[in-house]
Structure 1
Amino acid sequence: MVVGFVISTVASDVTRVIFSFMFELDGAVDVATTDQLRALRKEQAMHVACQVQSEYSFLRASSQSLAEVGMTTAMTRGGGGGGGGAGEDEKAVHEHGLFRVRPGMPFTGDDSKVVLWQATAGAGYALVCEEEENRVVAAQVLCLLVQYLQEHVKSAEQPAAEFMLKSDRVMTVLHQFLPNGQLLFLNHRAVRQLEKEMEVLLQGK
């Protein structure tokens, strides 16, 4: 079971949740009011977003350090100062990772959660899964979500604005490939079929 899906900023100093949807709020059934439920969802989404931001920043810093070392080595050996490295276009970066969220707030219950994430073009995409979930399938579904959200929703210039203004399109893509938080084993034919159905649903949105 996938617990939630979160899209957040990763390219700025301030972490911001752009879009979030929680399929299941374990241990939250006793929340008394709608406002409390909404506050809990926001807390969960922000917790994931902040951790994705931290992981992304660490990977970017490590990659740049390695690139600088490689460039220094090449120059020492008489090579030219080739392109890429620290000057790499931000839009071309595609990082990914995995981390655990320990039992307790903001995700209550006795089991940890596993978060798989990808980041590209200044936005981070994260699936919050139960500990025992198939991570290979989760990674495949996350890749598909990122691919189709990039194609059908995101504007390269203002990704955050596009996601917020077109949340109905985000929900359509999300529920097509992750119905009720259930991971699907998808071969090429199944993906193509879901893609055709999704394009019909997205018409006019």
Structure 2
Amino acid sequence: MVHAFLIHTLRAPNLEDTGLCRVLYSCVFGAEKSPDDPRPHGAERDRLFRKEQILAVARQVESLCRLQQQASGCSSTDPQPQFSAESVSLHEAPHGAFHLAAGDPFQEPQTVLWLGVLSLGFTLVLDTHENLLLAERTLRLLARLLLDHLRLLTPGTNFLLRADRIEGILTRFLPHGQLLFLNDQFVQDLEKEFSAAWPR
């Protein structure tokens, strides 16, 4: 099962720190209670705890993405390149996976799968026993759909105004955090259904 999906910022690898990593959107499937603590747990406390967990993952992904780009000799100096979604090749985008030990930051061990597309990071947090090939295919599919339908790389894109569309895509292609085996025809049918419900 996928525990979380997030979209966050990525900084160019050879720039000085120009800002903090920001989580632009996150969806948590299932709730993990905050660690054993004698104080009563409230909804607000659990929400803040989840927010801290998600931000910790986003920061680790950003660090790994920057290291990978530096190692490959990436020379981009513009943190917000102006490309259309059509010009982005997801197959050439930096990507990777890593494991999180229990307690760092989740109670159970997790696997994190990430994909960096220019200034955006797309990340899945999932159970360690999940099929990584299926998870990678799902992550690339989600990234493509989000870039195509929401034009996320367009300057001035407001994620808050598009949260319902992001949720619409997740509901169809990652329902309740379940990875789906989807053939191309079924993906096309779901895309048509989404396009009809949410015209561009």
Q: Please say whether Structure 1 and Structure 2 have the same fold, judged by a TM-score greater than 0.5.
A: yes
TM-score bucket of the superposed structures, by smaller chain: 0.7 to 0.9
Offset at 1:163? 2.1
- 1:49 aligned partner: 58
Counting only pairs closer than 5 Å after superposition, residues 1-80 of structure 1 correspond to structure 2 as 1-11=1-11, 13=17, 14-28=20-34, 32-64=41-73
Matched-pair contact (CA < 8 Å) for 2:114–2:123: yes
Distance in 2 (CA, whole Å) between partners of 1:122 and 1:53 is 10
- Deviation by residue 1:166-199 (Cα, 9 ceiling, x = unmatched): 1111111111100000000011111111111211
Distance in 1 (CA, whole Å) between partners of 2:76 and 2:51 is 35
- 1:86 aligned partner: 75
**Corresponding residue to 1:179 among 175, 179, 197:** 175
Give the TM-score normalised by the residue count of structure 2.
0.82
- Say if 1:22 and 1:38 are closer, same or farther in 2 by CA, change over 3 A: same
Distance in 2 (CA, whole Å) between partners of 1:29 and 1:23 is 18
Matched-pair contact (CA < 8 Å) for 1:40–1:106: no
- Deviation by residue 1:72-95 (Cα, 9 ceiling, x = unmatched): xxxxxxxxxxxxx63588555611
Distance in 1 (CA, whole Å) between partners of 2:158 and 2:168 is 15
- 2:129 aligned partner: 132
Offset at 1:29? 9.8
Greater Rg over alpha carbons, structure: 1
Distance in 1 (CA, whole Å) between partners of 2:35 and 2:140 is 31
- 1:148 aligned partner: 145
- Say if 1:156 and 1:116 are closer, same or farther in 2 by CA, change over 3 A: same
**Corresponding residue to 2:193 among 187, 191, 197:** 197
Offset at 1:155? 3.9
Number of residue equivalences: 181
Alignment RMSD (CA, Å): 2.4
Matched-pair contact (CA < 8 Å) for 2:146–2:152: no
Matched-pair contact (CA < 8 Å) for 2:9–2:24: yes
- 1:119 aligned partner: 116
- 1:165 aligned partner: 161
Structure 1 residue ranges, 4+ long, deviating more than 6 angstroms after superposition: none
Distance in 2 (CA, whole Å) between partners of 1:154 and 1:192 is 19
Unaligned runs of 5+ in 1: 65-84
Unaligned runs of 5+ in 2: none
Query: Identity rate of aligned residues, in percent?
Result: 35
- Say if 1:5 and 1:155 are closer, same or farther in 2 by CA, change over 3 A: closer
Distance in 1 (CA, whole Å) between partners of 2:75 and 2:115 is 20
Distance in 2 (CA, whole Å) between partners of 1:200 and 1:137 is 27
The one-letter code matched in structure 1 to 2:27 is: F
- Kindly indicate which of the two structures has a greater share of residues assigned to helix: 1
